[in-house]
Amino acid sequence: MPSQEIIIDVKNLSTCFDEFCVHENISFNVRKEEIIAIVGGSGTGKTTLLHELIMLREPTAGSIYLFAKNIHQLSYEESNSLKRHFGVLFQNGALFSSLTVAENIAVPLKEHTSLDDDLIMEVCHLKLALVGLEPEVGHRFPAQLSGGMIKRAALARALALDPALLFLDEPSAGLDPISANAFDELILQLRDSLGLSVVMVTHDLDTLWRVTDRVAFLGEKRILSYAPMNEIVKNPHPLISRFFQGVRGHAAGTKK
């Protein structure tokens, strides 16, 4: 169960592109060992919000605290140090195609640690095992992997520095149902065994029911609801109702 310790605290966040604002005064938090999802219709700024959380983009107004530190008031050195405490799995894996899987996992280790090459390779093999991949997968290139293996390899890289916080962008996108279910189970196992906090952007209704503690629904430039799935699906707001009460949403809910 999540603790009451706050890992992420977003306060009065606004994001504007010229005169158009996609977010206005958004506030929410994420607790330690909690899995939360950011959902909403197209154009509601889900990925933009994720990019702000991982320090790839600055909001127009408001503040984001990671591990009780205001990320907009950090020096360059402090920002780099903070980035070591979270990992990111991008939608398509974002593995370097010219590097082997092991070399991909080694990138953050070479950038942020002083470990020698032998120790780095040892860590790479440990991370492969952690995500359920055999050691020989480390010698393959991304083009030689299935979609599910790419996700796991990218996850291994995201976990290379033993982060306390994990960000996932559409983690089950492009996976068949069996692979998607296995990946969901992996996320739950990692949360339980490593004490991770997880923030994901996803459209996968099965994933929302299976792994999340709370779901933040974006719409009308704000968070319309932030609640567990069994509560949010009862929200009468038209945008939320259409999202969760359609044929696919109902089917996913009945599996719970």
pLDDT for the residue numbered 94? 86
Type of residue at 233 = V
- Flag whether 203 is in a domain: yes
- Flag whether 235 is in a domain: yes
H or E stretch covering 241: helix 238-245
- Flag whether 180 is in a domain: no
Q: Which domain holds residue 218?
A: 1-85+198-256
- Flag whether 157 is in a domain: no
Mean pLDDT by 10 residues, the chain (256 residues): 83 92 95 96 91 94 96 92 92 87 93 90 93 92 91 93 94 87 92 94 93 96 96 94 70 54
- Flag whether 52 is in a domain: yes
pTM flag (> 0.75): yes
- Flag whether 56 is in a domain: yes
pLDDT for the residue numbered 18? 84
- Flag whether 64 is in a domain: yes
Tokens at 122, concatenated: 């040892």
pLDDT for the residue numbered 1? 53
pLDDT for the residue numbered 90? 87
CATH number at residue 251: 3.40.50.300
pLDDT for the residue numbered 173? 84
Sheet of 69-70, strand order: 20-31, 6-17, 61-66, 69-70
Could you give the number of structural domains in the chain?
1
- Flag whether 40 is in a domain: yes
Q: Which residues contact 119 (CB under 8 A, 6 or more apart)?
A: none
**Contact between residue 244 and residue 253 where contact means Cβ atoms under 8 Å apart:** yes
